[in-house]
Homo-oligomer: A and B are copies of this chain.
Amino acid sequence: MSKVPKYKIKSRIWITTDEGTFLGAGRITLLEAIETYGSISKAAKSMKMSYKKAWGLVNSINSQSKEPIVRPITGGKNGGGSSVSEAGKKAILLFKKLDEENRMLLDEKNKNLDF
């Protein structure tokens, strides 16, 4: 090829337990949407995901954590919606931190890449 290409290492991380995937990029996006919209169905709609699929993901996430990550909002005018718990907010931040740290580590290696 005529010019030397600029190589870049890309990465994707996800967290598993014995049950399978616990958190990954898509699940984090869903959790953030639930935080934004206060509802699993609205969050699902915003991602063009079926409610059934979103509910299954939320169920899978909750079943693999010690404390619920998503929980129902009870009472008040938003009764019936769902919110991301404090444990869930911490989980989102931790996932993003791990992902970002990983990217930064890999980015440092880009300059030495040669093929």
How many of these chains are in the complex? 2
Q: Select the stretch in A34-42, A47-55, A58-66, A72-80 that faces chain B.
A: A58-66
Nearest residue, chain B, Cβ from A61: B115
Given contacts A66-B1, A66-B4, is CB(A113)–CB(B15) below 8 Å?
yes
B98 touches A5 (CB 8 A): no
Contact check: which of B10, B16, B66 meets A15 at CB < 8 Å? B10
Q: How large is the interface on A (under 10, 10 to 19, 20 to 34, 35 or more residues)?
A: 35 or more
Closest Cβ of chain B to A42, distance in Å, is: 25
**Across chains A and B, which 4 residue pairs bring their CB atoms closest together, nearest first?**
A5-B17, A65-B115, A11-B13, A12-B12
A residues engaging B (CB < 8 A)? 1, 4-19, 22-23, 63-66, 69, 87, 91, 94, 98, 102, 105-106, 109, 113-115
Interchain residue pairs with CB less than 8 A apart (11): A1-B64, A4-B66, A5-B65, A6-B18, A7-B16, A7-B22, A10-B15, A10-B16, A11-B14, A12-B12, A98-B106
